[in-house]
Amino acid sequence: MNGADTEDDSDPRHFLDIDDVSPSELDEVLDLALEYKRAQQQGDDHADLEDQTLGMIFQKPSTRTRVSFETGMTQLGGHAVFLGEDDIQLGRGEPLKDTSRTLSRYVDAVMARVFKHENIEVLAEYSSVPVVNGLTDDAHPCQTLADLLTIREQEGGLEGVSAAWVGDGNNVAQSFALGCAIAGIDLTVATPEGYGIDETVFERARDLGGDPTVTTDPIEAVSEADIIYTDVWISMGQEDERDVRMNAFEGFQVSSELLEYAPEASVMHCLPAHRGEEITDEVIESDRSVVFDQAENRLHAQKALLSWVLE
């Protein structure tokens, strides 16, 4: 039943950052993701969202986000509608709150990939159906779900795992820090001075029971890590900062030399990767890399998330 027909006045279950789920809800979503993954591998039907529609708003382009959500809805028996900024009135100056209220009358859920985090908050405030954050400049919680699913598969669980983030304290890093706190993962973050995770995010992580270690030394960060995670140094919209950032991040590359200090660690990257910058081609192609398992898990984790928000 879509937003136009529903008579349920209860608040929709939004997912704007990873700490919108409790530890038990995180386990619930990850358990369901593994069920869906097994069902797909075995060819079993799992059309749990039959005839439901996901509206997908994209201000930022993406490979993994679009394809995983669209494919996921199809596999769940539903349908996804791609809405680029130039395809809807949003690109012609319609207020977000009007777009949100209108879409709520047509679709069962909205996924939005936007620039400002306040934009996803406005969409959620005025929506009568669940809103999922596909990415903002501050957060990437869907990626964190896939990350935690990958770590759980790789390590046999989450509690007590040691992870190192090496590189830019960007939106992926911020959601990952919160996800580690919820999951009981021991996190060390290594970033250059001036490029760290926002202190308010660390405060939220501590409120969730986490205790992230912060350093400017990548070797210190990875020395006891089970998981090493990195992302691009130059994100969309930061191209004019390229020269400054390349100088600032010297020494933070995830390379074979860095991995010598963590001989058993697996390597993660959310993709797309700038090979030869934040990570070497040798590492991403090595048997230490779980990068493409991680990319696949976007599909399974997001199917579980969609089922959870539409429960």
Q: Which residues are annotated as a binding site for carbamoyl phosphate?
A: 62-65, 89, 113, 140-143, 270-271, 298
**Residue 21 · residue 148 · CB < 8 Å:** no
- Mark whether 113 is an active-site residue: yes
Q: Which of 108, 137, 138, 140 is catalytic?
A: 140
Question: Among all chains, which residue has been given the structure tokens 């993954």?
Answer: 37
Clarify whether 269 is annotated catalytic. no
* Angle at the Cα of 16 from the Cα atoms of 225 and 41, rounded to 5 degrees: 65
**What is the C-alpha to C-alpha distance for residues 24 and 6, in angstroms, rounded to an integer?**
28
For residue 179, give the amino acid letter: G
Pick the catalytic residue from 59, 143, 253, 302: 143
HSE, CB side, 13 Å, CA atoms: give it for residue 157. 5
Spatial distance between the Cα atoms of 100 and 128, rounded to a whole number of angstroms:
8
CA distances from 13 to 72, 185, 211, 277 (A): 19, 26, 28, 39
Place of tokens 């205790």: 211
Reduced to 3 states (helix: H, G, I; strand: E, B; else coil), residue 77 is coil
298 is catalytic: yes
Residue 234 Rama label (left phi>0; alpha psi -120 to 50; beta): beta
Instruction: Detail the residues annotated as belonging to a binding site for L-ornithine.
Output: 171, 231, 235-236
Annotated binding residues: 62-65, 89, 113, 140-143, 171, 231, 235-236, 270-271, 298
Cα distance between residue 32 and residue 15, in whole Å: 16
- Out of 14, 66, 269, 298, the active site residue is 298
Q: Could you tell me the two tokens for 286? A: 């090595």
Measured CA distances, 308 to 21, 49, 69 (Å): 10, 11, 14
Closest to 100 (Cα-Cα) out of 14, 17, 21: 14
Spot the catalytic one: 14, 17, 48, 113: 113
Q: Smallest Cα–Cα separation from 204: which of 189, 182, 227?
A: 182
Active site residue 270: yes
Q: Let me know: does 195 contact 173? Beta carbons within 8 Å.
A: no
Active site residues: 113, 140, 143, 231, 270, 298
